[in-house]
Amino acid sequence: MRDMIAYCGLDCERCDAYLATIHDDHALREKTAKLWAELNHAPILPEHINCKGCRADGVKTVFCESLCRIRQCALKKGVTTCGDCLDLETCQSIGEILSNNPDALENLRE
């Protein structure tokens, strides 16, 4: 399991918030903030787009740090990722991610 695979199986190294953070790319922060604000109907600003990865030490977006139900559940259960959870196949919290992103499930099974 690669360290930059999130609890849900998404690849943090492909996330625009992660890329903007490690490359200090303000234009990507602005683009990501605009898109995420539209998609989530929330006031997301470029300064909110800083993240070093869901399972890594360091800064995280507000969502990843405190609002993500999947991350909170994994931390509570003490699993490395949801791939280690016995409830993976029936979990409603992760179901939408896995149905929309087959790579996430593959990442969890590695």
Please report, rounded to a whole number, the percentage of residues in the chain having pLDDT higher than 70.
99
What is the rounded average pLDDT for all residues in the chain?
93
pLDDT of residue 1: 52
pLDDT of residue 96: 87
Q: What pTM value is reported for the model?
A: 0.86
Burial class (CB in 10 A: 0-12, 13-18, 19+), 80: middle
pLDDT tens digits, 28-41: 999 999 999 999 89
pLDDT tens digits, 72-90: 999 999 999 999 999 998 9
